[in-house]
């Protein structure tokens, strides 16, 4: 890598932003960094990064600006409050902060108004995985700009997926993944609560879930296909069967004297699907009631 192809600016040095900067440094990029709290820059400076005095200087230093802050609102505030928008002309913003699809589309329009381009991306990895084959990055936006800066993005993860020109596509997929993760985290924690309350080991529960994770992965793929093609009939397990099990989970919580928030929530959704006439169908058919906001 030589010349401007080797230059990247990283704005935002939280846990993830710092991991991003370290990955670029390790891959031989000339890295300029900026953060509101300059003390977070010290470890990166020691590794070879250059600290910009202000946001405008960070923008001017590189053709590619990778920003990872709290959200899209903070991104706009950083550029606008610092008066750095004029420096954006001709540059590409790689937005790796969390945002909604609507915000991603708005950022693309805003960037173009200032002579820049925006690639909206999402990180499907923990900070410790950034720069390794374990990290997955999804990106949407201008295809030419993606191809031009693909090397920069591939420095951050082994899997970089381009989802198309539609600016909000990456955020759509990330939101879907976050919905899945939120459900799994809450579900796991409730399961751990059941184990803990009965004097059993939660680490053994974690090991069990790891052991059956290949089955869960296959089920996820199956559910995606079922919903995509509306193939809800002839299931191995029905909404009615699982709905009954969930009512028992509510009963178990009451008998054990533990929180029933999750079981009641889940049982209510499945019961709504049963009441709507979907009891004999695939679990995924609960999407039919979720499509209608309560």
The predicted structure's pLDDT at residue 293: 85
Judge if 145 and 24 occupy the same domain.
Answer: yes
Helix (H, G, I), strand (E, B) or coil at 285: helix
Q: Write the CB contacts of 118 (distance below 8 Å, at least 6 apart in sequence).
A: 92, 93, 94, 95, 104, 107, 108, 110, 111, 112, 141, 167
CATH classification at residue 117:
3.40.50.720
- Angle, alpha carbons 163-164-170 (nearest 5°): 45
Judge if 145 and 248 occupy the same domain.
Answer: no
Judge if 23 and 95 occupy the same domain.
Answer: yes
Among residues 164, 184, 211, which one ends one of the domains?
164
Among residues 145, 164, 183, which one ends one of the domains?
164
The number of angstroms, rounded, from the C-alpha of 252 to the middle of its chain's C-alpha atoms is: 34
Which helix or strand (DSSP H or E) is residue 39 part of? none
The predicted structure's pLDDT at residue 185: 98
> Pick from 191, 19, 183: which is nearest to 96 by CA?
19
By the 10 Å C-beta count (0-12 exposed, 13-18 middle, 19+ buried), 161 is classed as middle
Judge if 10 and 147 occupy the same domain.
Answer: yes
Judge if 64 and 116 occupy the same domain.
Answer: yes
Judge if 82 and 134 occupy the same domain.
Answer: yes
> Pick from 119, 105, 54, 111: which is nearest to 85 by CA?
111
CATH classification at residue 259:
1.10.1040.10
- Angle, alpha carbons 186-215-121 (nearest 5°): 60
Judge if 63 and 117 occupy the same domain.
Answer: yes
The predicted structure's pLDDT at residue 4: 56
The predicted structure's pLDDT at residue 1: 47
Among residues 108, 138, 164, which one ends one of the domains?
164
Judge if 37 and 125 occupy the same domain.
Answer: yes
In a domain, 187, yes or no: no
The predicted structure's pLDDT at residue 150: 95
Between CA 224 and CA 26 the distance in angstroms is: 38
Pairing of strands 117-124, 92-95: parallel
In a domain, 261, yes or no: yes
Q: How many domains does the chain have?
A: 2
> Pick from 33, 3, 1: which is nearest to 18 by CA?
33
pTM score above 0.85: yes
The predicted structure's pLDDT at residue 2: 46
Judge if 125 and 20 occupy the same domain.
Answer: yes
To the nearest 10 degrees (0 to 180), the angle between helices 101-113 and 169-197 is 150
Long-range contacts of 223-228 (CB under 8 A, 24+ apart): 223/282, 223/283, 223/284, 226/282, 226/284, 227/284, 227/287
Within 10 Å of residue 286's Cβ, how many Cβ atoms?
Answer: 22
pLDDT per position as a tens digit, 231-290: 999 999 999 999 999 999 999 999 999 999 999 999 999 999 999 999 999 999 999 999
Domain range holding 118? 3-164
Judge if 137 and 251 occupy the same domain.
Answer: no
In a domain, 171, yes or no: no
Q: What is the mean pLDDT of each run of 10 residues along the chain (294 residues)?
A: 75 98 97 95 97 96 97 92 88 97 97 97 97 98 96 96 98 98 98 98 98 97 98 96 98 98 98 98 98 88
CA atoms within 13 A on the CB side of 7: 13
In a domain, 191, yes or no: no
Helix (H, G, I), strand (E, B) or coil at 118: strand
Residues 96 and 69 sit within 8 Å (Cβ to Cβ): no
In a domain, 173, yes or no: no
> Pick from 149, 117, 130: which is nearest to 8 by CA?
149
Judge if 37 and 95 occupy the same domain.
Answer: yes
Judge if 45 and 120 occupy the same domain.
Answer: yes
The number of angstroms, rounded, from the C-alpha of 146 to the middle of its chain's C-alpha atoms is: 19
In a domain, 179, yes or no: no
């Amino acid at each position: 890598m030589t010349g401007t192809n080797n230059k990247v600016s990283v704005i935002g040095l939280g846990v993830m932003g710092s991991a991003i900067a370290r990955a670029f440094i390790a891959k031989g990029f000339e890295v300029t960094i900026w953060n509101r709290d300059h003390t977070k820059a010290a470890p990166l400076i020691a590794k070879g990064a250059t600290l910009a005095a202000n946001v405008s200087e960070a923008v001017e230093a590189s053709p590619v600006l990778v920003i990872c802050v709290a959200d899209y609102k903070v991104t706009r505030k950083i550029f606008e409050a610092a008066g750095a928008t004029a420096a954006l002309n001709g540059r590409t913003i790689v937005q790796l902060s969390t945002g909604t699809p609507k915000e991603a589309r708005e950022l693309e329009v805003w960037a173009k108004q200032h002579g820049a381009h925006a690639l909206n991306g999402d990180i499907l990895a923990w900070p410790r995985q950034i720069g390794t084959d374990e990290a997955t990055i999804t990106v949407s936006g201008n295809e030419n700009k993606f191809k031009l800066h693909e090397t920069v993005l591939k420095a951050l993860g082994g899997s970089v997926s381009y989802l198309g020109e539609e600016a909000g596509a990456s955020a759509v997929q990330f939101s879907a993944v976050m919905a899945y993760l939120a459900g799994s985290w809450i579900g796991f924690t409730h399961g751990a609560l059941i184990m803990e309350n009965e004097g059993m080991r939660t680490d053994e529960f974690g090991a069990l879930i790891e052991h059956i994770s290949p089955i869960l992965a296959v089920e996820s793929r199956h559910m995606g296909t079922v919903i995509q093609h509306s193939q809800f009939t002839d299931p191995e397990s029905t909404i009615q069967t699982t709905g009954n099990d969930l009512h028992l989970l509510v009963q178990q919580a009451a008998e054990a004297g533990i929180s029933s928030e999750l079981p009641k929530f889940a049982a209510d959704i499945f019961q709504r699907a049963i009441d709507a006439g979907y009891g004999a169908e695939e679990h995924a058919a609960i999407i039919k009631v979720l499509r209608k906001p309560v």
